[in-house]
A and B are shown apart, each in its own frame.
Chain A
Amino acid sequence: GENVEQHPSTLSVQEGDSAVIKCTYSDSASNYFPWYKQELGKGPQLIIDIRSNVGEKKDQRIAVTLNKTAKHFSLHITETQPEDSAVYFCAASMGNAGNMLTFGGGTRLMVKP
């Protein structure tokens, strides 16, 4: 089955700096890659996703890149703010398996004011 590795496990940045979180996946059949933000005591919230026919997608301060050849994808957050502090999860899924998501281990992002 699919295996998703996520790095780093913790990331501390100064407010205004950029943050980058990287994930690798094992199954080349995966074609959908969402990112979730999870705040303490809450469920994961979808923040951005990318499909295999696209190399990059941007939404305001958040961008995601996908390299299918290398089987890795990354989340980029620019101009970080204290409210960006949370745990971020990457995930991967294969279309023919419904939408079963395999998650990475998570990255705890801390933005220091």
Chain B
Amino acid sequence: EAEVAQSPRYKITEKSQAVAFWCDPISGHATLYWYRQILGQGPELLVQFQDESVVDDSQLPKDRFSAERLKGVDSTLKIQPAELGDSAMYLCASSWGTGGNTEAFFGQGTRLTVV
């Protein structure tokens, strides 16, 4: 069964350091999302891509976060510098495309701890 792949599964970093997460969506899925999930809360959208283009990054803290999907396939989310409040689960999801009403499939996530 096709899955959304994310790495690493766990990451511990010191504050002020840079950290990066990688996501490989299900093959053929044009839309890719990065969500952040704080412990005990629901996921919140950070950025949405349609192919290689950003569709929505209104909730992405652009002073420290960046995301790219250069070839419209896999994607990288970067934080520099990391802050204590960035500790969370970072989830990647993908779906066939925009137009709504298409299922979004999530990866296992990357658990980030900033110390």
Residues of chain A touching chain B, judged by Cβ–Cβ distance below 8 Å, are: 4, 6, 31-32, 34, 36, 41-46, 49, 51, 89, 91, 93-106
Contacts and interface: CB of A to CB of B under 8 A. Distances in A.
A100 B42 contact: no
A95 to B, nearest CB: 2
A43 B108 contact: yes
What DSSP secondary structure best describes chain A's contact surface? strand
Contacts of B99: 95, 98
Contacts, number: 75
A54 to B, nearest CB: 11
B77 to A, nearest CB: 15
A32 B42 contact: no
Contacts of A95: 99-101
A31 B106 contact: no
B109 interface: yes
B45 A41 contact: no
Contacts of A36: 106
Nearest to A52: B101
Contact of B42 (A51, A96, A98, A104): A104
Contacts of B4: 43
Nearest to A43: B106
A66 B91 CA distance: 27
Contacts of A4: 42
A62 B47 CA distance: 31
Contacts of A101: 43, 45, 104
A91 B33 CA distance: 15
Interface stretch (B11-19, B48-56, B66-74, B79-87): B48-56
A111 to B, nearest CB: 20
Interface centre among B43, B50, B55, B111 (most CB of A within 10 A): B43
